[in-house]
Amino acid sequence: MESERRIGVAVDFSACSKKALKWAVDNVVRDGDHLILLTVRPEGNYEEGEAQLWAATGSPFIPLSDLADPVLMKKYGVKPDPETLEIVTTAAKQREIVVILKVYWGDAREKICEAIDNIPLSCLIIGNRGLGRLKRAVLGSVSNYVVNNGSCPITVVKIAEQ
């Protein structure tokens, strides 16, 4: 069963999500694992492409080889940054892991919790934007919501408060 580990990392291609991804690769991911990147895009009026087709259930699993294809990723409304691609490409080369991306559309808090159950994930690593107490109270915290409502072990990788 150890080879069946599905390590989820919530990514939005921000500095804090890249830090969480790097931390996951350095501290959690082992040979034989599936590293599943979860990204949630805002709901919107997508005229064409896969976003409309997969709005309710999320995209199919997108393999690492397709992540660097800007034409394909545009169909999902996702533009992975070079640093994120480098982190996962290096991890896949150095270790025997499978890297895949799953895209959801809607509220990040709810969709990440849905992904935990539907994939299902063995654990989830999520970044913390480092919002101050006031901003966190007004905007809400995705990581706080997921910690309180997710059904698997969750690690929050924090950056310094601003």
Which pLDDT value is given to residue 53?
A: 67
pTM of the shown model:
0.87
* 123/130 Cα distance (integer angstroms): 22
Average pLDDT of each block of 10 consecutive residues along the chain (162 residues)? 80 91 96 95 63 74 92 86 94 94 92 95 88 52 89 88 50
- C-beta neighbour count of 118 within 10 angstroms: 13
Which parts of the chain fold into alpha helices (H)?
A: 15-27, 50-53, 64-67, 70-75, 82-94, 108-118, 133-139, 142-149
Domains by residue range for the chain, with CATH: 2-158 (3.40.50.620)
Token output for 81? 């940054």
Q: Which of 8, 4, 42, 10 is nearest to 128 (CA)?
A: 10
The CA distance from 115 to 133, in Å, is 28
- Segment 30-75, tens digit of pLDDT: 999 999 999 998 876 555 555 566 777 888 999 999 998 998 888 8
Alpha helices in 10-60 (DSSP H): 15-27, 50-53
> Which pLDDT score is estimated for 11?
94
